[in-house]
Structure 1
Amino acid sequence: MKKFNTYILIAFLIISGNSFAQQTPADKQSEPISIVGATAHIGNGEIIENSLIIIEEGIITEVIAENLTKRQYPGKIINAEGKHVYPGIIAPNSTLGLVEIASVKATEDNDEMGEMLPNVRSLIAYNAESKIVESMRPNGVLLGQVVPRGGLISGTSSIVQFDAWNWEDAVVKENDGLHINWPDAFRRGRWWRDEDPGIKSNKEYTDEVQKLSDFFASSKAYLAGNRDYKNLPYLAMESVFNGDKKVFVHVDGEKEIMDVIQFKKENNLDGVVIVGGYDALGVANDLKSNNIPVLVNRPHSTPNRDHEDYDYPYKLAKLLQDEGVLVAIEGSGQMERMNSRNLPFYAGTVAAFGMQKEDALKLVTSNTAKILGVDEKFGTLEKGKSATLFISEGDALDMRTNILSHAFIDGREVSLETHQTELWKRYSNKYKNQEGK
């Protein structure tokens, strides 16, 4: 009897463990896949009706408009007539996989002590088994830039795909960019220092910017010297100065953005990207002439100032695009990790407030890929690129119709089941069963 009870306990533990475990990542593509008849949204503004998309060994080998009655299709055939195909959506500037439950400190690993931390790498802290990461896929969010937080220089981000055993399997582009938290020229009074609560000039602004300038100058001096002793922060700056890493500057104000542009020139930096850019519209010409793109903060927010249009956050991306600035959407802020799954709907909001629908799609696909430097493989449905894409029942930018039937990462068909979908099915059945009572 004791042995029987032991077996029951073991079986219960196995079943319980499986119900909470991350799904097994999909196997490598083993046969060609032909997606037939869908409306293909290429991600560059182009649409192909009645398309044929062929995937072989993880790569898109054909994307064409097809007379669907005249051809034999290779491998597994997916009939997608009446459906829509999109490139995988990319989440920039995210902390996905670095924090699981914000209120549980043991699950946080997105910040380190110190101010100048270019040698801190978010990638090695990335948790591929995160339940939150898993919940991205049913909305088509298949890639992300994992970014550290804190300090003046937070560290180095990496780009990952969202169906992996571990961070080594997940990595798409390692150490893609350095992240700088630019100081604010103005800020609210700090109550803990008995300051007036209103907005005022930050007296420490010049000193904080000087700290950044001094660190960059010291790094250059160290790298130009004999390097007799190992200084990890300075060594990590080498890939910034030689252009291998982009520089993502988290900044909002007009004055601060103009100072960033000057800082870029003084340090001869390539690949500078503004993250946030709330007031970027006022200096759009300067951003355009200096070839600086902007990752605008999520549109689902309210204006910062009383005199601004209520819909300013909704239309900022379009206004910047109209000025010739390369723009994409990022989703940092309150509850940013779980809200990352709403990226396609952020783009849909921008479309609802004036931007053409296919241009809005670029904000979460091709534009993001260009800004992150992964556009050779991702961001559009084109021959020779990674087969990272999804099939939706309807418009992917509309939360009512973005219902995925298939999703692929590098040609691997990934699971669309999550803890949330399991709960939805469970409670849907509950209320269906009660209808007859």
Structure 2
Amino acid sequence: MENADVAFAEGKITAVVPAGSRQFPNHRVVDASGKHVYPGFIATNTTLGLQEIGAVRASNDNRELGEFNSNIRSLIAYNTDSEITPTVRSMGVLMAEVVPQGGRISGSSSVVQLDAWNWEDAAYKTDFAIHLNWPASSSYNWRQQRMERNERYAEQLREVESFFDQAQAYSQTPSHERVNLKFEAMGGLFDGSKKLFVHANSVQAIQEAVLFAERYNLVPTIVGGRDAWMITDFLNEHKVPVILDSTHRTPAREDEAVDQPFREPALLHEAGVLFCQSHEGFWQYRNLAFQAGQAVAYGLPYEAAVKSLTLDAAKILGIDDSCGSIEVGKDATLFISEGDALDMRTNKLTHAFIQGREINLDNKQEMLYRRFQKKYRQR
């Protein structure tokens, strides 16, 4: 919407109207003439706040020992004092889905807002999805420089099936002599209060995961989705959304076009698949907006690119009733950029608000930049 006024109070958007058509007494006015206003970007499938320095083990709290850790909660490990968060926030990412890693079932993810004193303050939607890492039938052996079959593939599938069968049976039993925390955490899948997010990339893995989930009356969300563009009809038939992993990568196969990863968002959009864009890791999410901008250059409509970071991401996470777009009644989580926020040349935030609170856009890297600018200045 061009030439508009956006008003908010007590953390909620109260008006989105043509510029100058209404007066807003007792409101602070922020002049954004010639600038762009966006809903806050949402980082999905990230370890932001769970990792600080990759090479320092003590600063990494993103995984637990063992294979089936459905009872693990990423939220309580979330570090609101991370030095990484302000660097990501200054690029327009104002909310994040914090996801545990490792094992066959990693645990549950939660959505946090990125302006908080502690994890309780940060919590936006808690423990809403269980993350299952689907077994790979083959993998690349970097030492041997070749693809190798996973000899334990069938066994790993049986382990997943057995765990789900036991968890479902546990959830259907009214009382238990002994509480099983792993099965207790799985109960939300079977009563509809939790989502199932399956990490899968190949065509085989995606199809197997979807059909497996349907046996338990679950509609999964595919995370990763490297080959999702190949089976869009299948995804639409089963109404499966996709959290697309980083497209800043090389093609998966030798005979694919060199720009294939860059075109994947456009292919999913053209096919009508509900998807959002993610990146990998934690600090890497400072490039999330630019990844979406690159997708625009390879055929994704601009509005669809913005939605893949905002409203469509919110729909997949189940929070679109309160965020993801600039609409009356939703949270005032938005930012103002001097130019196109998807272009690294013009993404420059002047103001950002999370639930109506204006946040500080400074970060450690900017402070170091200002400090060392003066290093060789003559006194």
TM-score of the aligned structures, taking structure 2 as reference length: 0.96
CA-to-partner distance for each residue in 1:56-107, whole Å, 9 max, x for gaps? 0000000112247x74554101111011100000000000111111111111
* Equivalence map 1:261-276=2 (5 Å): 261-270=210-219, 272-276=220-224
In structure 2, the residue matched to 1:230 is 179
* Equivalence map 1:216-295=2 (5 Å): 216-225=164-173, 226-270=175-219, 272-295=220-243
Inter-CA distance 392–206: structure 2 relative to 1 (3 Å threshold): same
Contact 1:388 1:411 in 2 (8 A): yes
In structure 1, the residue matched to 2:15 is 62
In structure 2, the residue matched to 1:406 is 351
In structure 1, the residue matched to 2:321 is 376
Counterpart-to-counterpart distance in 2, 1:134 and 1:413: 13
Answer with 312-321 or 220-229: which moved more: 220-229
| Aligned partner of residue 184 in structure 1, secondary structure | coil
1:427 deviation in Å? 3.4
In structure 1, the residue matched to 2:117 is 165
In structure 2, the residue matched to 1:355 is 300
1:202 deviation in Å? 2.1
Counterpart-to-counterpart distance in 1, 2:246 and 2:304: 16
1:224 deviation in Å? 2.2
Matching of residue 95 in structure 1 with residue 55 in structure 2: no
Counterpart-to-counterpart distance in 2, 1:132 and 1:408: 18
1:200 deviation in Å? 3.1
Contact 1:86 1:389 in 2 (8 A): yes
**Match among 243, 261, 264 for residue 316 of structure 1:** 264
1:189 deviation in Å? 3.9
Bigger Cα Rg: 1
In structure 1, the residue matched to 2:244 is 296
1:135 deviation in Å? 1.4
1:400 deviation in Å? 0.9
CA RMSD of aligned residues (A): 1.6
CA-to-partner distance for each residue in 1:147-206, whole Å, 9 max, x for gaps? 000000000010001111000000000001000110111222485xxxx54213323212
Q: Which amino acid aligns with 1:158?
A: S
CA-to-partner distance for each residue in 1:130-150, whole Å, 9 max, x for gaps? 001121111110000000000
1:262 deviation in Å? 1.0
Contact 1:299 1:349 in 2 (8 A): no
Q: Which amino acid aligns with 1:288?
A: N
TM-score of the aligned structures, taking structure 1 as reference length: 0.84
Contact 2:171 2:190 in 1 (8 A): no
Contact 1:190 1:197 in 2 (8 A): yes
**Match among 354, 358, 370 for residue 425 of structure 1:** 370
1:342 deviation in Å? 1.1
Which residues of structure 2 form unaligned runs of 5+? none
Counterpart-to-counterpart distance in 2, 1:87 and 1:428: 33
Contact 2:269 2:300 in 1 (8 A): no
In structure 2, the residue matched to 1:387 is 332
Q: Which amino acid aligns with 1:307?
A: D
Inter-CA distance 100–72: structure 2 relative to 1 (3 Å threshold): closer
Contact 2:44 2:278 in 1 (8 A): yes
* Equivalence map 1:20-35=2 (5 Å): none
CA-to-partner distance for each residue in 1:238-264, whole Å, 9 max, x for gaps? 111111111110100101111011101
Matching of residue 117 in structure 1 with residue 72 in structure 2: no
CA-to-partner distance for each residue in 1:231-290, whole Å, 9 max, x for gaps? 1001111111111111110100101111011101111114x1101111112211111111
Q: Which amino acid aligns with 1:169?
A: D
In structure 2, the residue matched to 1:176 is 128
In structure 2, the residue matched to 1:52 is 5
Counterpart-to-counterpart distance in 1, 2:38 and 2:368: 27
| Aligned partner of residue 129 in structure 1, secondary structure | coil
Contact 1:118 1:154 in 2 (8 A): yes
Inter-CA distance 266–352: structure 2 relative to 1 (3 Å threshold): same
1:301 deviation in Å? 1.2
In structure 1, the residue matched to 2:149 is 201
Contact 1:89 1:142 in 2 (8 A): yes
In structure 2, the residue matched to 1:30 is none
Counterpart-to-counterpart distance in 2, 1:210 and 1:90: 35
| Aligned partner of residue 187 in structure 1, secondary structure | strand
Answer with 337-346 or 407-416: which moved more: 337-346
Inter-CA distance 120–72: structure 2 relative to 1 (3 Å threshold): closer
In structure 2, the residue matched to 1:415 is 360
In structure 1, the residue matched to 2:95 is 143
Inter-CA distance 231–71: structure 2 relative to 1 (3 Å threshold): closer
Inter-CA distance 383–203: structure 2 relative to 1 (3 Å threshold): same
Counterpart-to-counterpart distance in 2, 1:418 and 1:133: 9
Q: Which amino acid aligns with 1:255?
A: Q
Counterpart-to-counterpart distance in 2, 1:397 and 1:156: 30
Which residues of structure 1 form unaligned runs of 5+? 1-47
Contact 2:222 2:243 in 1 (8 A): yes
| Aligned partner of residue 237 in structure 1, secondary structure | helix
